[in-house]
Structure 1
Amino acid sequence: MNFERLATDFAGIKLKTPVMGASGTFGFGIEYKDFLDLGDVGAIISKGLTPLPRPGNTGVRVAETPGGMLNCIGLENPGIDVFLRDILPRVQQEASETAFIANFSAGTVEEYGMMAAKLDVDGVDGVEVNISCPNVKEGGIVFGTDPRAAAAVTEAVKKNTKKPVIVKLSPNVTDIALMARAVEEAGADAIALINTLTGMVIDTRTWQPLLGNITGGLSGPAVKPIAVRMVWQAAQAV
């Protein structure tokens, strides 16, 4: 297809179209090659990568709600080294016409910097930084709820990569504009909104939480108006 009229430049990343496969919903892109032409997608945003492999949470990991679904997958992924060795070459071969943005998270500021450095390679067109993770050095406070912590992560990533840096903001905050300004001032090239909202489902047969992790992230139609509101608020601020 001719996408010339849809081509755009996003934070320095050339996109054939503005349609992207969002992180966590599109795997590494190549899983969908039998269902659509990956060349028709502007960008693939990978599922979240971490410094070491993660098996994810145990127990029930997905629960339906009237307005969407809750999930507590637990960042299941093969780890950064397996991705670089085994998966990225396949992406380059099977989706060479599509931009690839690597989403990643970590438990310390230093690990975020290390991950950014490892992903500063050919085949990765940009990085999306998931800051909805606890800081293991600071008593478990979530990076994405503390503007100073979010800024520190952004600075560490910017120092360790030449790729465009997108910071994915958490909606579980009082003031989304404050968080947007913090990461912009720290050097972010773009922001992504929003991550899932924290929720919980009770199994009425057992009177117990349905999800194995007790709480999970809410996505789906119920979240869209909240996301649109936060995008508008952030757009007024940065």
Structure 2
Amino acid sequence: MLKTNLFGIDFKNPVFLAAGIMGETGSALKRMGKNGAGAVCTKSIGLEKKMGHNNPTMVEVEGGFLNAMGLPNPGINEYVGEIEEIRDDLKKMGVKIIGSIYGKDSNEFSKVAETISPFVDVIELNISCPHAGGFYGAQIGQNPDLSHSVVSAVKDCVNKQPVMAKLTPNVADIKEIAKSVEDAGADGIVAINTLGPGMVIDIETKKPILGNKFGGMSGKAIKPIAIKNVYDIYSAVELPIIGVGGITMGLDAIEFMLAGASAVQVGTGVYYRGYDIFDKICEEMEQFLIEKNIKLKDIVGGAHE
């Protein structure tokens, strides 16, 4: 009932693990696959090893979390070993792998993409992290020309492999960025990355709590913003959209699809409902479809009618 085809690839369901959550190791990705995810997304991986920001890197706030991880990762050459170890197991489970990558320019993105390409089914370009600094993340994704350059370079590098651009909501007009990556050859769009950046101050120490001082907002509170961004993107481009931001229930996923998403990613929702949140969301979606006597494909973009 939930089988979904994107980019010519069959996914057993449209509920995926988002980048940055339980993607540090191959075993963590495998665990999410066992708990019902239709696809698992790696943490964002760069060309070289990166330590990330100092602790604390996450703080819970009303309605979600602020996080400032700083893109910590072992570097692409080491990380592909993690994927290789679990790739066959995930294939047996019918779980696809999305490789999230980042770089400071189109050249770095291309090098990482070329290395990870043989190990993943889809590549996701992180051009949207709001706290990465150093010309990474949102500093690229807030500029339509830089976004175009990165997508175009990666598509040239990996040939026919599907490439998705993950967009930031922290722009004046997300439709402009969406059109730019579509023109550059992107096969899909992921929307949205965390909102912000934001800050929390400890009133006793009079200092920001996060080691980086500020971070990106995720969780339930950002869902209405994510829904609006997906709605706008759907009206502007012809690409499939993966909706992400505040999804914890099956009805949240349905709402994203009505806005225009063909699939969704779940991140901090794992904290609220556990590792088996993917199974739970799928069951809730199926129940909704049965009660309404409709098919999944019939609801995508339904709010635009």
TM-score, with structure 1 as normaliser: 0.90
Shift of 1:173: 0.6
User: Is the aligned partner of 1:90 residue 2:85?
Assistant: yes
CA contact (8 A) 1:51 1:80 kept: yes
Which residue is equivalent to 2:75? 79
Counterpart pick for 2:98 among 87, 98, 101: 101
CA contact (8 A) 1:177 1:233 kept: yes
In structure 1, give the amino acid aligned to 2:165: V
Which residue is equivalent to 1:229? 228
Shift of 1:10: 1.2
Shift of 1:59: 2.6
- SS of structure 2 residue aligned to 1:54: coil
How do 1:31-46 residues align onto structure 2 when only pairs under 5 Å count? 31=28, 33=30, 37=34, 40-46=36-42
In structure 1, give the amino acid aligned to 2:230: V
Counterpart pick for 2:186 among 185, 188, 199: 188
- SS of structure 1 residue aligned to 2:28: helix
1:104-141: per-residue Cα shift (whole Å, max 9, x none)?
Answer: 000121111111111221x31010000126795x7998
- SS of structure 1 residue aligned to 2:165: strand
1:70-119: per-residue Cα shift (whole Å, max 9, x none)?
Answer: 001111111100012x2122121331231101000001211111111112
CA contact (8 A) 1:108 1:135 kept: no
CA gap 1:94/1:30 in 2 versus in 1, 3 angstroms:
farther
In structure 2, give the amino acid aligned to 1:53: K
CA contact (8 A) 1:49 1:105 kept: yes
Shift of 1:36: 6.5
Structure number with the higher helix fraction is 2
User: Unmatched 5+ residue regions in structure 1?
Assistant: none
CA gap 1:63/1:155 in 2 versus in 1, 3 angstroms:
same
Shift of 1:182: 0.6
CA contact (8 A) 1:29 1:44 kept: no
How many residues are matched?
A: 230
Shift of 1:32: 5.6
CA gap 1:140/1:6 in 2 versus in 1, 3 angstroms:
closer
Instruction: Give, in whole Å, the separation in 1 of the partners of 2:138 and 2:22.
Output: 28
In structure 1, give the amino acid aligned to 2:182: E
CA contact (8 A) 1:26 1:44 kept: no
Which residue is equivalent to 2:140? 143
User: Percent of aligned positions with the same letter in both sequences?
Assistant: 38
How big is the alpha-carbon RMSD for the aligned residues of Structure 1 and Structure 2? 2.1
Which residue is equivalent to 2:163? 165
Instruction: Give, in whole Å, the separation in 1 of the partners of 2:234 and 2:33.
Output: 32
CA contact (8 A) 2:127 2:138 kept: no
Instruction: Give, in whole Å, the separation in 2 of the partners of 1:99 and 1:108.
Output: 27
- SS of structure 2 residue aligned to 1:44: strand
